[in-house]
Amino acid sequence: MKRTITHLADGRELLYFDRRDDADRSTIDERELPPRPAASELRYDPLTEEWIAVAGHRQGRTFLPPASECPLCPSTPGHSTEIPSPAYDVVVFENRFPSFSAQLGEYSQVGGLSEVRPGIGRCEVVCFTSDHDSSFSELSADQVELVMEAWIDRTAELSAMPGVEQVFCFENRGAEIGITLTHPHGQIYAYPYVTPRTKLSLGAAERHRERTGRNLFADVLAAEREAGVRVIASNEHWTAFVPAAARWPVEIHIYPHRQVPDLGGLEAAERAAFGPLYTDVLRRLDGLFGVAMPYVAGWHQAPVNAGRDLSYAHLELFSVRRAPGKLKYLAGSESGMGAFVNDVLPEETAHLLRSVVTN
């Protein structure tokens, strides 16, 4: 793998990840771009003990442009994009409209009990392929490995940045999810705090260890593998299953069989085995209702400075589609109280996904 670092016209960092060592990445971004926005402000909610990012500059981000104006495709004569080169394998660059960044602005206190501080961190875009009309499910095993190498590289580098407490690699896919660009891509958030979901999971893992002396995530995986009824697919190194207490009509967790805190802990064989299983799962999703399934998929990794011995890196995926032509909307119970009601039995979802015939 060849890794090339360059910069866009406004100073943002861009990295090419190539399979070939002779890839030429000398093309320069010659666009005239506005100054980079200041980092968002973080406001503390004393009622939930959570940090909320307020990033007004994101209102102006690019929204569903036509394919001819896609900013994630390679640049062509007459159309310069975020990727200067005329072709690429995998690209990562700093988001032009970030929720977190190192560009400090002016921040003032808002009064009351809410503390305000800069949203220090970083947000990056990961382009999985230069093919605008492709999807992650269509990537070759080699291409998935290259994407994983990019995730690993960025997790390590972002984790070393001052102020970063957690790194989250994820993909939003489908108009129903609220995507703003259709080109196959994901994002990476380097948070200046440990996210609420991770705090909850690690708290549960710590209490489980105190009671049993074992790792909670490893025990969940072992129980699902033993039960078998919710397992969708598996190989020597990975298992994909619908969790017993799934919140979403379609929800899948994918675990490596060996506990590692983050993606960087995976061995070469484990990295290679992920792609074939994951793309099979994604094809099953698309075959479930005969339409491209909208989903959110993200890697749950250990925080930078806390709970690393408790953590177990794994991928979680969910979809808001509950049936052909029907979506699950977060209504009063879910939105107002965070109390989920799932209309679909997890065992039935697993059965349906196993029944899908994939190529």
CB 10 within 8 A of CB 33: yes
CB 4 within 8 A of CB 18: yes
Please name the residues in contact with 122: beta carbons below 8 A apart, sequence gap of 6 or more.
94, 98, 100, 101, 102, 158, 161, 164, 188, 189, 190
Q: For residue 340, what are its two tokens? A: 């989920």
Q: Residue 38: what residue type?
A: A
In the numeric block, the tokens 């075959």 are attached to 287
Q: How far is residue 273's CA from residue 103's CA, in Å, rounded to a whole number?
A: 39
Please list the residues that pair with 54 across neighbouring strands.
41
Q: Residue 12: what residue type?
A: R
Please name the residues in contact with 278: beta carbons below 8 A apart, sequence gap of 6 or more.
136, 144, 238, 240, 254, 315
Active site residue 185: yes
Per the residue annotation, which of 7, 79, 183, 185 is the catalytic one? Answer: 185
- Within 13 Å and on the Cβ side, how many CA atoms surround 265? 15
By annotation, the residues acting in catalysis are: 185
